[in-house]
A = this chain, B = another copy of it.
Amino acid sequence: MELLLLSNGKATECPGLLGWARDRVQSLLARKQVKRILLIPYAVIRSDWDARANELGESLGVEAVSIHQFDDPVDAINRADAIFISGGNTWRLNQLLHEYGLIVPIQRAVRERGVPYVGWSAGCNVATPSIRTTNDMPVCNAAVLPALGLFPQQINPHYLDASISGHMGETRDERLAEFCAINPSEHVVALREASLLQISGETIEYWSARGEGFKIFKHGETPQEFMDAAPLAALTPFTPRV
């Protein structure tokens, strides 16, 4: 399996979509000899799908085509060199993945054929077992929680522990504590902006463009910050690369 799970698509450090992680993405594409990226941009409104693919292709210097350009989206997955899922609204994205019947085809492509999967923000959320740790509003009329489950733990992308003065709503830490209280046997991996997890075969690596750590949340435990993937050894089948 080749997974790149990124907290976010754009960061102030480096212009362009995935600019902050461009070296890592391009290196993966070169290693897997990817000629063309298949982009699933369902998290944004339809009128933006082609623009998102063009933006991605220009930023990475590789052809990128939105899946809606193919007559049969399942066939497009089956023929894909690389599957990229971009950010936006996680609910809309997950709903359309299910409606178009893409869950199992993507799982097979990634798990059985080793097709690289690169997902950021909403595209990172749907790579986990469910979208229960999304930050997005459930704007759709349907609510579907199970997702691709390529990564075996919930991830919370765009993680931040700052809060806005005067705001009385829950902080992110409080929301994640609620998740853990309701689901005490589960862990949540919280990824800050400009950070990522890379799974390559049997190994897992953590990297942050800002030199920051990630956190792990579990009910009854104080969340801790980590600078490398070592603590993921107990939570995933992957071997940490530290």
Q: Measuring CB to CB, which residues of chain A are less than 8 angstroms from any residue of chain B?
A: 7-12, 45, 88-89, 92, 121, 131-141, 143-145, 157-158, 160, 162-164, 166-170, 175-176, 178-179, 181-183, 193-194
Contacts and interface: CB of A to CB of B under 8 A. Distances in A.
B121 A169 contact: yes
A181 to B, nearest CB: 5
Nearest to A157: B169
Contacts of A134: 137-138
A140 B179 CA distance: 8
Contacts of A139: 132-133, 175, 178-179, 182-183
B133 A175 contact: no
Nearest to A137: B175
Given A160-B167, A167-B158, A193-B166, A140 B88 contact: no
Contacts of A157: 169
A175 to B, nearest CB: 5
Where chain A touches its partner, the secondary structure class is loop
A157 B168 CA distance: 10
Contact of A143 (B9, B138, B175, B178): B138
Contact of A175 (B121, B136, B170): B136
A83 B184 CA distance: 31
Contact of A168 (B11, B89, B92, B166): B11
Given A7-B168, A88-B178, A139-B175, 16 more contacts: A8-B168, A8-B169, A9-B168, A11-B168, A89-B178, A132-B137, A132-B141, A133-B137, A133-B139, A136-B178, A140-B182, A143-B144, A158-B167, A160-B164, A162-B167, A168-B193
